[in-house]
Structure 1
Amino acid sequence: MGRRPSGGGVSPVRAGLIAALATLVLDQASKLWLYFGTDLVMTQPWRLAPFADFVVVWNRGVSYGLFQQDGGLGRWLLVGVSLVAAIGLSVWMRRAGSRLLAVALGLIVGGALGNAIDRAAYGAVFDFVHLHAGTWSWYVFNVADGAIVAGVIGLLLDSLRPAGRDPHADVSENGSHPQA
């Protein structure tokens, strides 16, 4: 099922699955609670800090509100794309050689599934966190979106790590192998 780390602990694939499940549960729980368990819809915005509010925004597109889909075909196309991406990233996660890579992929998978559930159930994704400062305003997002961004950052960090090498396989400048 995934490689077990040599120092004990959680295997990369298990860490990725935990990240995916935690993301999915936190995303759906936060959306369900805010939408059905509070009066946010009627009393928005809720000021959390001078730079952050809770609001209700239904996003019928993808990130940053791009590719808005009003019809059923576009909605189900986006659900399908999310599911295909989650499956593909899950296959990659299963083969991940590091926990960082697997967790990054798990965050993206969990986020994609969370937003796909919203699209399938409501026809749009429920976004609720609005960051702003003065006249600057960031797009409204949710837990799934935050996890996807964190996952992409994890992928970038993983790509910057040097590939694991056998130190005995290195060749010195004069062509000889270093002594052990």
Structure 2
Amino acid sequence: MLVLAVAVLLADQISKFWALSALSGGEGITVIPQLIQLRLLLNSGAAFSIGEGATWVFTLTTAAAVAGILYVGRRLRSTAWTVVLGTLLGGATSHLLDRLFRAPGFAQGHVVDFIDYGGLFVGNVADIALTGSCALLLLLSLRGVPLGVVADKGDPSA
């Protein structure tokens, strides 16, 4: 799980570094006309820039999600759930790092978005990982696939 999380985090942060250096002049790069364009957007909110004035709420929520995934993930035995939670962890941690350490300040930083999907929304590599892992999480839940966690020795329900 941690290896996958680090891979997602690195891919996202490296692509954001590239976007900040290559797209900061305001120019866009057309990848697929009228479908995909690369353009820089610094997002203080959540998806679709919702909640732009509440960046600190997203910081706290993301930190709690990262802690929860780490707690559950240390006991996983299911490969499918390990992939889901590893991908979620990588995307969430990358967004948390943006919130904590990017301008305008600690715990209020903006997430770097740069993949424009035909004017519908602008996202990044972490968003792709988060969306894909949430879809797989929903599928696993609907199919009743158990987490396969090993109980802690100190857990009274073990």
Matched, 1:124 2:110: yes
1:153 is matched with: 135
The one-letter code matched in structure 2 to 1:145 is: D
Structure 2 gap segments, 5+ residues each: 104-108, 147-158
How far did residue 80 of structure 1 move?
2.1
- Once the two structures are TM-superposed, the CA of residue 76 in structure 1 deviates from its matched residue by 3.2
Contact 2:84 2:134 in 1 (8 A): yes
Residue 91 in structure 1 maps to residue 71 in structure 2: yes
Superposed CA RMSD: 1.7
Q: Distance in 2 between matches of 1:163 and 1:76?
A: 34
Q: Tell me if the contact between 1:112 and 1:144 (Cα under 8 Å) persists in the aligned partners.
A: yes
SS in 1 for 2:25: helix
Map residues 1-180 of structure 1 onto 2, 5 A cutoff. 16-36=1-21, 38=22, 40-50=23-33, 51-69=35-53, 74-120=54-100, 121-122=102-103, 123-132=109-118, 137-163=119-145
* Cα deviation digits, residues 130-167 of structure 1 (max 9, x gap): 112xxxx3210001111110110121222233557xxx
Q: 1:45 to 1:99 in 2, by over 3 A?
A: same
One-letter amino acid of the structure 2 residue matched with residue 48 of structure 1? V
Q: 3-state DSSP class of the match of 2:88? A: helix
User: C-alpha displacement at 1:25, in angstroms?
Assistant: 0.5
The one-letter code of the counterpart of 1:154 is L
Q: Structure 1 stretches of 5 or more lacking a match?
A: 1-15, 165-180
- TM-score (ref. length: structure 2): 0.80
Bigger shift: 116-125 or 140-149?
Answer: 116-125
Output the TM-score relative to the length of structure 1: 0.71
Cα distance, 1:124 vs structure 2: 0.6
- The sequence identity of aligned pairs, in percent, is 31
- Deviating beyond 4 angstroms after TM superposition, the runs of 4 or more aligned structure 1 residues are none
Q: Does the aligned pair in 2 maintain the 1:94–1:102 contact within 8 Å?
A: no
Question: How many corresponding residue pairs?
Answer: 139
Deviations 1:80-99 (A, max 9, x none): 22111111012222233311
CA distance in 2, matches of 1:154, 1:93: 16
Q: Secondary structure at the match of 2:5?
A: helix
Report the equivalent of 1:169.
Answer: none
